[in-house]
Structure 1
């Protein structure tokens, strides 16, 4: 079969096309960002039946990070509980578990109450070990489960369907079809929705806050929710120093040698995350080989390594879809969710690739803050908490060398580019980004990030320009997709 880079989920999208905003607007609540976080915030707030709500997305709803997830719904976020107990104490670790456990059940309840056909499957989430080093970390995480009272089952290596050193299984978790789930919510969502509407700045006002679009329209609101990876707010211009962009790779195989049940993930790179799709015609989804975006790995090589590992360990073959995804993590592992101190603006970011339960938690915390209700988990996720950890200092110090490295990066003066591919070349002393589509049309841009001027790389998996400094991403035509960069690339 021919391989596709389009997400498995997005090909099933049934959402309608929403208009672009072409007027000024006055609402009670503006939600910026049309991924799962923004849509769930809109859902929770619309249920109150007392707000006029607008949801705006600069591209298409759920076609960024959300549409490229693995669709796991679980409290088992690798070995986070041992690390939280060690670094923040039992109270924080227990609250994190409870918040995400309620999220698993809350998402399942939405599926049932809204009668959404999204292939929800109750499953065990299993944390497993390939190596002795992983087995030691697994033992520490088991001790954390005992301390926190997290229900689990220890699985000996003989009971797992592929070669490991054992695993920790948490029952009553879930997997689902993320796009069908969100389509089910959108079908009954009574809010104003606008696509292709880019917000370029927000500012507090006497009566709330105002957002301005790239087309110079203004949206006035009592509250603005920034369900974007980077908060669009001038006081947070340096927020890129507090969250770290990382990426991972996903592939789907139609043939495999293990029983299609449960969801799995191991602890140490190379990570091999496993789940199954479509019980009527089972498929294997594997994900992993992730890294910080500052690392200059070949995107195609990472996909190849992922598939090779799945073939070796799981008998996987006949891969038909493959893609790349990017997310952000806070420096202390806990997402940043809540109200900005000096303005009626709310943010949610730093989900560390566990965005499904984190998005649900965010939707309830932000709903409660707007409603003036005390949320028992708000303190845990408070975005104003001290984040000046040693890890933050090290990350930003290392980033200086990355910025310099991109400036000194050498590229070929000329190279043959086949249709459907892109490359950055040197021409008359300047770098040029070129992409040729399947019809032979050439797109030419200046491959310099509009955030801080780092030289971009071209990702031939997703046909996008990627910034190795702070994670900004641009479509092959230069359109800004994600990250701290607000402006599009300069077209040549």
Structure 2
């Protein structure tokens, strides 16, 4: 289903870096338009956020239409709503056109408030949605055991299996003549006479569909990385809600059902936090405690997490990359709405490469001037980054020794006065690395749930051997040899 025949003598119309929903949508649109496109994916297609999403397809977003209007005016809010709707339409269109079997189901969505403050927020969300023509109504009935004060129902929401959908796009892309290169890491771009070289791939346009463009760039200071958690449980009752259900807590919870390997399960998600800042084990435990409080759980079948980036002014950055050569594009800052926004990004980016006007291009332009009210959020997020850069580096945290490191765990420890990111595997072998993130020099922390080293500054993640799992880092953590656990 994939193809890797990149011809070194060929100049492609575009190289798409990243094989998630943004990358495949963009590449397929360009290939269908008669362009010659190659996808370069560092791991395997869908490896990153697309494989971790709980795959909600909504007509609303985490950034409310009221918030969008406050920052970008009534026209901006309307365009945001239209972009979300068009992203949903792109997904439905491709499923129908190519007959993609991806468990696509249309379901109502419910958003409920449990107290007076949340009820007030709900009213603002309602009025903001009505103003931009998004279908929403108040309802007295929500298929949830959680007591609530007020609730909204959104018709025409949907869910699907994101990896099966990606496989459908992949099949169509290859059938149209597209080329896919998996396990191909693009770290830098060389540009000469308008031709961009990404390793041995040459193209007239480069599209970073990597969730966060690699290396140091402007978006490191305009998007904050977050982890989001999901557990899948089996219920004793066998009765599952046939809807997408969200509360208004901060951080929030959501539930929906899905059939996995012939077995219906309840997916419970939320409790998001900044990457590298809190204990993932507590997040999973919190989700389990929450769901056991309201549902009669038979067993927990799966648990996983995913990463997304929150933009400082609420809207994603899609288009020509600032301070980069002409013809280098990116898309980032989807908040928690990557399915719709990743899809519409594909249309905006492909239109840019094709030289076509796109009505959303200006609203999402990466070089846009930030609204004044986003400045305080920018300062807050980057003050937090600065703290971790300094505090972790100079050893404010209590030191430890390698001999106290239990099998299956990792920690930044001090050995002979030097900090080491150390992981002891189940066989007792120490995997020792430099704890200094290769992206911007912050100190990584251990994520015991996913056995990874996570950077608290910009969200880069590394495996136990230091290899990059999630950008914006492009280089592995340095290995430290001959570590003596007796020190």
TM-score (normalizing by structure 1)? 0.89
Aligned match of 1:345:
328
Gaps of 5+ in 2: 481-487
Give the 5 Å matches for 1:82-101.
82-101=66-85
Higher deviation after alignment, 157-166 or 460-469: 157-166
Aligned match of 2:483:
none
Residue 194 (structure 2) pairs with residue 242 (structure 1) = no
Residue 186 (structure 2) pairs with residue 196 (structure 1) = no
Counterpart pick for 2:21 among 36, 39, 47: 36
**Alignment partner of 1:422: what SS?**
strand
**Contact persistence 2:79–2:360 (CA under 8 A):** yes
The verdict on how the C-alpha distance between 1:489 and 1:20 changes in structure 2, with shifts beyond 3 A counting, is farther
Residue 450 (structure 2) pairs with residue 462 (structure 1) = yes
User: Which deviations, in whole Å up to 9, do the C-alpha atoms of 1:84-114 show, x marking residues without a partner?
Assistant: 1222222111111111112112201211111
**Alignment partner of 1:329: what SS?**
strand
**Contact persistence 1:256–1:284 (CA under 8 A):** no
* CA distance, structure 1, for counterparts of residue 321 and residue 300 of structure 2: 44
**Contact persistence 1:29–1:221 (CA under 8 A):** yes
**Contact persistence 2:4–2:179 (CA under 8 A):** no
* CA distance, structure 2, for counterparts of residue 362 and residue 446 of structure 1: 36
Shift of 1:437: 4.3
* CA distance, structure 2, for counterparts of residue 22 and residue 446 of structure 1: 37
Residue 364 (structure 2) pairs with residue 387 (structure 1) = no
* CA distance, structure 2, for counterparts of residue 487 and residue 306 of structure 1: 34
* CA distance, structure 2, for counterparts of residue 72 and residue 282 of structure 1: 17
Shift of 1:422: 2.9
Shift of 1:31: 0.5
The verdict on how the C-alpha distance between 1:334 and 1:486 changes in structure 2, with shifts beyond 3 A counting, is same
Counterpart pick for 2:197 among 183, 201, 210: 210
The verdict on how the C-alpha distance between 1:415 and 1:318 changes in structure 2, with shifts beyond 3 A counting, is farther
**Alignment partner of 2:381: what SS?**
helix
For the aligned residue pairs, the C-alpha RMSD in angstroms reads 2.4
* CA distance, structure 1, for counterparts of residue 142 and residue 300 of structure 2: 28
* CA distance, structure 2, for counterparts of residue 386 and residue 109 of structure 1: 34
Residue 263 (structure 2) pairs with residue 274 (structure 1) = no
The verdict on how the C-alpha distance between 1:438 and 1:178 changes in structure 2, with shifts beyond 3 A counting, is farther
Residue 431 (structure 2) pairs with residue 443 (structure 1) = yes
Residue 464 (structure 2) pairs with residue 483 (structure 1) = no
User: Which deviations, in whole Å up to 9, do the C-alpha atoms of 1:378-401 show, x marking residues without a partner?
Assistant: 111111101373121332233212
Residue 261 (structure 2) pairs with residue 313 (structure 1) = no
Counterpart pick for 1:251 among 205, 215, 231: 231
* CA distance, structure 2, for counterparts of residue 195 and residue 158 of structure 1: 44
The verdict on how the C-alpha distance between 1:281 and 1:294 changes in structure 2, with shifts beyond 3 A counting, is closer
User: Which deviations, in whole Å up to 9, do the C-alpha atoms of 1:128-184 show, x marking residues without a partner?
Assistant: 222322111001111112222221121225765532223212111210011111112
* CA distance, structure 2, for counterparts of residue 159 and residue 260 of structure 1: 6
* CA distance, structure 2, for counterparts of residue 104 and residue 335 of structure 1: 16
* CA distance, structure 2, for counterparts of residue 162 and residue 132 of structure 1: 15
**Contact persistence 2:143–2:241 (CA under 8 A):** no
**Alignment partner of 1:471: what SS?**
coil
Higher deviation after alignment, 272-281 or 189-198: 272-281
Aligned match of 2:344:
361
* CA distance, structure 2, for counterparts of residue 440 and residue 52 of structure 1: 50
* CA distance, structure 2, for counterparts of residue 237 and residue 144 of structure 1: 33
Shift of 1:294: 5.6
**Contact persistence 1:209–1:343 (CA under 8 A):** no
**Contact persistence 2:229–2:271 (CA under 8 A):** yes
Aligned match of 1:68:
52
Shift of 1:441: 5.2
Aligned match of 2:209:
227
* CA distance, structure 2, for counterparts of residue 402 and residue 289 of structure 1: 22
The verdict on how the C-alpha distance between 1:442 and 1:372 changes in structure 2, with shifts beyond 3 A counting, is same
TM-score (normalizing by structure 2)? 0.90
* CA distance, structure 1, for counterparts of residue 342 and residue 208 of structure 2: 12
Aligned match of 1:7:
none
User: Which deviations, in whole Å up to 9, do the C-alpha atoms of 1:266-295 show, x marking residues without a partner?
Assistant: 233131111111185320111111112263
Gaps of 5+ in 1: 1-14, 213-217
